[in-house]
Structure 1
């Protein structure tokens, strides 16, 4: 079964281009120009990846990310005609996984899609199907890599693909300080000078809030000038 990708853009020419290059790369592509149609399409198609224009005539892409997260944790790649730090950071904070500026290189876009989906199918941990339990003050943090599910005690924690792999990396290297550059390479899979380390900081921020909401305290420590580490 082909991997399904949902493309959302108000420009039919962009949709045709994405459909052509992604189909040539072996993906099954569905397209729409309407943000309002996205929730129903997600439920019908169940895409593995969503490519989302940030400016739609009927929706704001950043706001739409938050709506999408109510239906799926599939990775989201944002498309934008603006090379704006504010939009990039807002996109990552809302739950997006990547940000591509128009006009984009077709080869680079396909490479990013492949990197995202490769990470989705091949988690950071080498023990892909084995749960990774970690005890923290008598609470067990367990990652089920084959199902991409996380439990803290008996409570399930709903993470995006990037957040899941980031937590898995921190658990695999617990106690060690991981640089932003290392995290960017391990989780995003390609060196992206546009995203740089802002994506890491945004993803860390979201993950910290989600874990803290269950544990009641931070277990991810920022080490100024170096990076982050798990303090379990």
Structure 2
């Protein structure tokens, strides 16, 4: 099995070391950084597959670092924050994060989130094999190739994170079917919805932005008010 490298970025060394203990016990190689500059340097030197990123750090904060990473990489990013308000979660997810965990957290829950994100990322990696490998969807002037994690809309490449890709693939692979936000969450995150949240809506808003839906008269993703979302043929 290939070595999976996880970067933990947190200015609280005790938390970074605690997270390292649990991740190493699950077989991951862990790199630690205590500020954004150290994190960016490690990412230049090492192949990182997932980042655990604290929001509140001196200098460049976690949200700014998340946006910086997103300029060149689609690897999973899980934000860690002592803030639990929905607005803070929305800001983190809008900034490019794939998931958001509130401190204090259960280390076992955190490692479960890590496994979930890595499983999704490796399934979408061009070098991985799965039941959908090589499958391609052509719908509404859009091509979605699961084998190489590539989306092309009207001849233009659209770069998506694994979560965004999964949402788009789910909707496009069931044309005409309306998915509620709870259904999307359970199918894409592979978790039961345990509380009302705006996670799916934030990701769809970000997805629509990358797809330039605001410039399109006939939207690809349709909102069915009070029900959910769909893509028509």
What is the match of residue 128 of structure 1? 132
What is the match of residue 55 of structure 1? 56
Q: What is the aligned-residue RMSD (CA, Å)?
A: 1.9
Report the Cα distance in structure 2 between the residues aligned to 1:192 and 1:167, rounded to whole angstroms: 19
What is the match of residue 223 of structure 2? 222
What are structure 1's unaligned runs of at least 5 residues? none
* Alpha carbons of structure 1 residues 192 and 50: separation in structure 2 relative to 1, 3 Å: farther
* Alpha carbons of structure 1 residues 36 and 192: separation in structure 2 relative to 1, 3 Å: farther
**Displacement, 1:213?**
5.5
What is the match of residue 200 of structure 2? 200
What are structure 2's unaligned runs of at least 5 residues? 125-129
* Alpha carbons of structure 1 residues 222 and 135: separation in structure 2 relative to 1, 3 Å: closer
Q: Would the aligned equivalents of 1:77 and 1:99 in 2 still touch at CA under 8 Å? A: yes
**TM-score, length-normalised on structure 1?**
0.90
> What SS does the aligned partner of 2:206 have?
helix
What is the match of residue 37 of structure 1? 38
Report the Cα distance in structure 2 between the residues aligned to 1:214 and 1:45, rounded to whole angstroms: 37
Q: Would the aligned equivalents of 1:43 and 1:71 in 2 still touch at CA under 8 Å? A: no
* Alpha carbons of structure 1 residues 103 and 112: separation in structure 2 relative to 1, 3 Å: same
Deviation string for 1:100-128 (max 9, x for gaps)? 111100111111111111122235xx742
Q: Would the aligned equivalents of 1:133 and 1:142 in 2 still touch at CA under 8 Å? A: yes
**Displacement, 1:231?**
2.8
Report the Cα distance in structure 1 between the residues aligned to 2:44 and 2:186, rounded to whole angstroms: 32
